[in-house]
Structure 1
Amino acid sequence: MKQVLALMLILVPGLAPADILVAKRTLRAQSVITSEDVALQPGQVAGILAAPEEAVGLETRAIIYAGRPIRYSDLGEPAIVERNQIIPLIYRQSGLEIRTEGRALQRAGAGETIRVMNAASKAVVSAWIAPDGSARVSQ
């Protein structure tokens, strides 16, 4: 009976011991995380990172206080576009390409979708930020 209970405890999700990733010091918003900024601590919480490799190189989206667990939602790709930055705005479809300048209305990293204002027409569009920092518009 004891063996069955022990086996059930091992198989029940959320009951196995684990480590969570915490901030060693207070991390300001928009800071890129290094291995010196994080540490493992015993515990288990849903939505919390469990290895330093998951956080190193990512940027904080909000302040993370020392000793607090680091959630997936606290981090994102480092920003390559700053708010109000003039960036290439590109529209491509069926062999047609239109290029113009746009003003980023939000700060963003590669792969994020933000609002960009077309500098010529003042129209605001949603655009995906490419790894080269250009904004790509699609329908």
Structure 2
Amino acid sequence: MKIRSRLFHSLIGAGLIAGLALSPALADQLRLRAEAVIDGDTVRLGHLIEGLEKGADIAVFRAPAPGARGTIRADRVISAAREMGIDGIDADGLKVISITRPGRTISRNDLQALIGRAFAERGAKGDLDVILDDHHAARTVDIARTDALKVTNLARDTASGRFEVKVALAGATTGETWTLTGSIVETRDVVVPVSDLERGDALQAKDLTIIKRPANTVGTDVVTAMNDLIGMIPRRVLKSGEPVRQTDIAKPILVEKNQLVSVVYASKGLSLTMRGRAQANGAMGETIRIQNPQSKRFVEGMVTGPAQITIFAAPAPAATLADATTPPRR
């Protein structure tokens, strides 16, 4: 990028170099720099000429954009200095001077995070996924601008999710704001398989991962918590990356129909164990019927483990004051 002189003629017109009158002695050690690093909007003589003291702050060229590089022809620098009354500069064989202006990059992710926080602070609910429109690229500002980013204005169409915001650095002037557009999507966590999973095998934590999906695409029957899937049995093949619905899974069968099981009778301070035959399949927490092989009688109990049924005795009714009152004599 070639850097053009736009400022120094106006500086001459304004009389900013009046009385400069450098003596030849001051120019004895002046030499062009091969490279210069700029931290502002203008290139000054002191950036380009080594050994220059008086007049070093005079702006003569516009600097490259932050994060960019450019060049200035050596003869143009010498000519600009001569018009300022500075002579005797050693070009040292240089044809061009390389100009670098370091920049601070503000990424799309930085901008999206800032916008998400701004909407959350203003009452937006749920997990918000901010998506800038594709034409908005990362921004680069001068390396010296360490100010925090701020949102100065924001507007959102809640029906479509579209937004328009104005963003600036905290110390920026009115003309330094950026207008950004995009959309905000409310998202929910959804548990999905990391690979295709066959039916019949109990799900493990390593088989699953959590992703975000637009909330309006997540049905009420979709499983959203990892713990609700671990240990469950797929009823069908589960596809990688696809949400799992309640109807796709079942609790593991711990008791099978006609299986001989341990039947535990649990009452306060008492526990009896006997054998029984299950009359149906049962998963953890389900209630099924069991037959006593000797008496042939049927009872109901809860599946509490592999091949184990527990019958919980109903608690005795609490005594009342009426129960303790002695009836009157006749």
Mapping for residues 1-139 of structure 1, pairs under 5 Å? 3=155, 5-6=157-158, 16-23=186-193, 24-25=195-196, 27-28=198-199, 30-35=200-205, 37-38=207-208, 40=211, 42=213, 43-60=217-234, 62-66=235-239, 69-95=243-269, 97-131=271-305, 133-138=307-312, 139=314
Are 2:205 and 2:230, in contact at CA under 8 Å, matched by a contact in 1?
yes
In 2, Cα distance between equivalents of 1:136 and 1:78:
18
SS in 2 for 1:16: strand
CA RMSD of aligned residues (A): 3.4
Normalising by structure 2, we get a TM-score of: 0.32
In 2, Cα distance between equivalents of 1:137 and 1:4:
59
Are 2:196 and 2:238, in contact at CA under 8 Å, matched by a contact in 1?
yes
Normalising by structure 1, we get a TM-score of: 0.65
Q: Work out which structure has the larger RCO, using CA pairs closer than 8 Å and 6 or more positions apart in sequence.
A: 1
In 1, Cα distance between equivalents of 2:247 and 2:196:
18
Structure 1: unaligned runs, 5 residues or longer: 10-14
**Cα distance change, pair 94–44 in 1 and its aligned pair in 2 (3 A):** closer
Bigger radius of gyration among the two: 2
Moved more, 78-87 or 65-74: 65-74
Runs (4 or more) in structure 1 with deviation over 6 Å come to none
Structure 2: unaligned runs, 5 residues or longer: 1-153, 162-184, 315-330
Superposed displacement of residue 101, structure 1 = 1.1
Q: What amino acid is the match of 1:123? A: R
